[in-house]
Amino acid sequence: MEKVGPVTHEVNDAGLDLPGTPNAEGWRRLHPLSPVLRGGIFFLVIVGVVIANLRDVIVGIFVAGNDEGDGEGGNIIDLFEFLVEEGLVWLVVAGVLGIILFVVLLSWVAWRFQTYRVSADTVEARSGVLFRQHRRAPLDRIQSVNLQRSLLARIVGLTKIEVLTGGQGGKVELAYLGHRDAKTVREQILQLAAARREGRDIADAVEEITGTAPVSYDGSAYAEATDAFTGRAQDFVDFDVDPEAAASQSLVRVPVGRLVGGIALSWETVFTAALLLVALFWGVIGTILGAVGVGDGFFGSGGAALLTLIPLVLVMIAVIFGQFNKGFNFTLSRGKDAVRVGAGLTSTVTDSIPFGRIHAIEARQPLFWRPFGWWRVRVTVAGHSVMQGGQSATQNLVLPVGPEDDVIRVIETLVPGTVAGLRDGLSGPGDGYIGAGPRSGWVLWFGKARAGVRIDVPELDPANATLRIRRGYLTRSLSIMPVVRAQSIQLRRPMVHYWLGLASIQAHTVMGPVNLERRGLALADARRVFDELERTILEVQRNDQSGRQTR
């Protein structure tokens, strides 16, 4: 047993030096405040309902100065005077304290049944009193390990760990741990998972992990902080950027000015602003015509049109703040075994993506970003489906807005061996791409000029072969799929394509936001691409499987 700072560390059955004291089977408890945070949304809803129902009473007492016993405020005052006269105030106070103690007891019982374990093979979490739940994530199936910190969790210095696996809904949550504890657990899970994937001996990996100096943390503040308040402040502002990565391996940082500019020029903001202008113009014209006695109905009541501005303004504010909140302080850094994405203003998310787990990547450029050369990059990763947990927008985004040089740096890091011809595929003429068919303008419209598909096989390393698809006119995009990640491919001919002698090629990976379909190809070109892609996939995946068996 080793004592580090105020925390006792013991070695569990994986041989890891994790914070906390495990039981005989290696199970450890989460932070005592976990049940409070897990039920925080329910508590806020209850408080909101109570406040909404007592709104008139509160206004009557504190605002309207209702001291005559009229209305609901007066009734409350009369009730309070009755309780005082009858000596029942202490009984009411005792009842309130009893309810509080009952809630605290339930939270304590729930905390006693919330445990987790990191073993040599899996990450496990158990919870529930009446209805038990046991979730398990095998190390060799782990796709990423994320840290999530809501505003309330940041205030109390806690963090939730999400361990994502390859299956849909395959997520193990450790909610919640102290922030530094969570970072320690996350790093050790990632290193064990990397050792599993690389076929290294787990004992050697554990020795390497435990050979580094453990991080001391007292569960509420940094051990090196001069006082509790300073430690809490450091916890609150910590955006979980690895110091080593930030110093030497930082890939991308998004300045606030560029983030604001990208949001202002995005399709969502432009579309919402256009609706606001139309509603405003319609309301002003209606008001003027109604004032001079011309027209009736909608035109005669321009105020009704102006009222439509309210929900649109609220939507616009929500969209803008949501994008700003998720992209604030965005940092992409390269660690030893994974790429780390961190961002957030009121609530922060840190997403760790192990190398070799990217199934597809896409760079997109909206029309109004084109003069600045900005792009957005998102990825498809197993376990990060667009349907999982409502966090896909953050989890799938690896660059909210950045210049072409940043895009190339990000893509080359996530999908090695793709830098050749990458700039030409993004903004160049697309040399080497098979373009759209002669009559594809009927289905592609203005996107015909940019449409193209290419199978890129590097001579020096055929294992890094990729499928690349260009598309778009108003929004340009370049989608890249490592051939080794292909699940299946399809050649199909919808009705209009059949009439025009065209065909569509589509590659399937795990569920995600990146679309890998190229429509509007000439039938002969589509067949040729399909055959070549099939041969490349079989050869690359056969060699990859042989390499794994050799290791």
Domain assignment present for 359? no
Query: Number of helices (H) and strands (E), helices first, in the chain?
Result: 21, 24
- What is the pLDDT at residue 496? 94
The distance from CA 299 to its chain's CA centroid, rounded to whole angstroms, is 45
pLDDT digits (tens, 9 = 90+) for 439-479: 999 999 999 999 999 999 988 788 889 999 999 889 999 99
Which residue, of 111, 130, 161, is where some domain finishes?
Answer: 111
Residue 262 vs residues 185, 368, 393, 399, 410: alpha-carbon distances, Å = 35, 9, 16, 11, 18
- Would you call 310 exposed, middle or buried from its count of C-beta atoms within 10 A (0-12, 13-18, 19+)? exposed
3-class DSSP assignment, residue 452: strand
pLDDT at 248: 42
From the list 26, 30, 29, the residue with the least C-alpha distance to 11 is 26
Q: Measured at the alpha carbon of residue 337, what is the angle toward residues 200 and 177, in degrees to the nearest 5?
A: 105
DSSP 60: I
CATH classification of the domain holding 537: 2.30.29
Whole-number pLDDT of residue 140: 82
For residue 348, is pLDDT > 50?
Answer: yes
Output 483 or 289, whichever has higher pLDDT: 483
Mean pLDDT taken over the chain: 77
Exposure letters 434-457 (e unless 16+ CB within 10 A, then b): bbbbeebeebbeebbebbbbbbbb
Q: What is the average pLDDT across 265-288?
A: 78
Q: Which of 253, 276, 307 is the last residue of a domain?
A: 253
The whole-number pLDDT of residue 68 equals 47
Q: Is the pLDDT reported for residue 107 higher than 90?
A: no
Residue 48 has pLDDT above 70, yes or no: no
Residue 347 lies in a domain: no
Average pLDDT over every residue of 310-328:
80
Q: Is residue 535 part of a domain?
A: yes
pLDDT the model gives residue 247? 41
How does pLDDT run across 225-243, given as a tens digit for each residue?
A: 445 555 555 555 555 544 4
Place 244 in a pLDDT band, splitting at 50, 70 and 90. Answer: very low
| DSSP 8-state secondary structure symbol assigned to residue 384 | -
Q: Which one-letter DSSP state was computed for residue 295?
A: -
Q: How confident is the model at residue 54 (pLDDT cuts 50, 70, 90)?
A: low
Q: Which of 195-204, 344-353, 463-472, 482-491 has the lowest mean pLDDT?
A: 195-204
Asked if residue 181 lies in contact with residue 217, where contact means CB atoms within 8 angstroms, the answer is yes
Name the more confident of 477 and 1.
Answer: 477
Better-predicted residue by pLDDT, 391 or 322: 322
Q: Could you tell me if residue 352 is inside a domain?
A: no
Would strands 397-403 and 374-381 be described as parallel, antiparallel, or unpaired? Answer: antiparallel
Element housing 36 (H / E): helix 34-38
Q: In this structure, what token pair is assigned to residue 47?
A: 């408080």
Amino acid at 59: V
Better-predicted residue by pLDDT, 176 or 281 = 176
Q: How far apart are CA 379 and CA 359, in angstroms?
A: 7
**Rounded mean pLDDT, 251-275:** 89
Range from 255-259, 273-277, 370-374 carrying the lowest mean pLDDT: 273-277
Mean pLDDT of 516-545: 92
Beta strands in 33-101 (DSSP E): none
Do 424 and 520 lie in a common domain? yes
Q: What pLDDT, on a 0 to 100 scale, did the predictor assign at position 101?
A: 80
Same domain, 231 and 276: no
Q: Kindly report, residue by residue over 415-442, the tens digit of the pLDDT.
A: 888 888 899 999 998 889 999 999 999 9
Percent of the chain with pLDDT over 70: 70
Does residue 387 belong to any structural domain of this protein?
no
Answer yes or no: is pLDDT of 365 > 90: yes
Domain assignment present for 396: no
Mean pLDDT computed over 148-177: 82
Same structural domain, 91 and 137: no
Last residue of a domain, one of 253, 279, 300: 253
> Could you tell me if 469 and 520 are in contact, meaning their C-beta atoms sit under 8 angstroms apart?
no
pLDDT at residue 187 in the model: 83
Least confident of 4-13, 70-79, 151-160: 4-13
- Per the model's pLDDT, the better-predicted residue between 377 and 394 turns out to be 377
What pLDDT was estimated at residue 533?
95
Structure tokens belonging to residue 510:
């795990």
Cα distance between residue 123 and residue 346, in whole Å: 29
Amino acid at 136: R
Question: What is the per-residue pLDDT for 3?
Answer: 36
Measured in whole angstroms, the distance separating CA 26 from the mean position of its chain's CA atoms is 30
Residue 392 predicted with pLDDT over 50: no
The pLDDT of residue 113 is above 50: yes
Share of the chain residues as helix, strand and coil, in percent rounded to the nearest 5: 45, 25, 25
- Give the residue from 432, 431, 466, 453 showing the smallest Cα distance to 502: 453
In a domain, residue 264? The reply is yes
Q: Are residues 205 and 269 in the same domain?
A: no
Does residue 202 surpass a pLDDT of 80? Answer: no
Rounded CA separation 533/508 (Å): 12
Token pair listed for 539: 């050869």
The better pLDDT of the pair 115, 203 is held by 115
Q: Which of 181-195, 399-413, 508-522, 523-537 has the lowest mean pLDDT?
A: 181-195
What pLDDT band is residue 14 in, cutting at 50, 70 and 90? Answer: low
Mean pLDDT of 171-197: 85
Q: Please count the structural domains in the chain.
A: 4
Are residues 531 and 505 located together in one domain of the fold? yes
Residue whose tokens read 């068919």: 437
Whole-number pLDDT of residue 219: 39
pLDDT band at 394 (very low <50, low <70, confident <90, very high): very low
pLDDT of 45 over the 70 cut: no
Q: Both 177 and 277 in a single domain?
A: no
What is the extent of the structural domain holding 217? Answer: 2-30+114-253
From the list 261, 454, 445, 515, the residue with the least C-alpha distance to 366 is 261
Say what percent of the chain tops pLDDT 90: 27
What CA–CA distance (Å, rounded) separates 315 from 39?
27
Are residue 522 and residue 440 in the same domain, yes or no?
A: yes
Top-confidence residue, 548 or 456: 456
Q: Strands 517-522, 434-435: parallel, antiparallel or unpaired by DSSP? A: unpaired
Check whether 65 has a pLDDT greater than 90.
Answer: no
The answer to whether the CB of 450 falls within 8 A of the CB of 473 is yes
190 in the same domain as 59: no
Give the model's pLDDT for residue 263: 92
- Residue 390's pLDDT is 40
Residues 150 and 12 in one domain: yes
Considering the domain architecture, whether residues 191 and 239 belong to the same structural domain is answered as yes
Q: What is the pLDDT of residue 274?
A: 82
3-class SS at 455?
strand
Most confident of 10-19, 42-51, 504-513: 504-513
Give residue-wise pLDDT tens across range 126-151: 888 888 888 888 888 887 788 888 88
DSSP per-residue string spanning 83-136: HHHHT-HHHHHHHHHHHHHHHHHHHHHHHHT-EEEE-SSEEEEEE-SSS-EEEE
383 found inside a domain: no
Mean pLDDT, residues 256-284: 84
Closest residue by Cα to residue 330 from 236, 240, 426: 240
pLDDT (average), residues 337-362 = 83
HSE of 97 in the Cβ direction (CA atoms, 13 Å)?
Answer: 6
> For residues 2 and 20, which has the higher predicted lDDT (pLDDT)?
20
Residues 193 and 222 in one domain: yes
Residues 209 and 279 placed together within one structural domain of the fold = no
Q: Which residues of 151-184 are buried (b: 16+ CB within 10 A; e: fewer)?
A: ebbbebbbbbbbbbbbeeebbbbbbbbbbbbbbb
Q: Which residues contact 139 (CB under 8 A, 6 or more apart)?
A: 120, 121, 122, 123, 189, 192, 193, 196
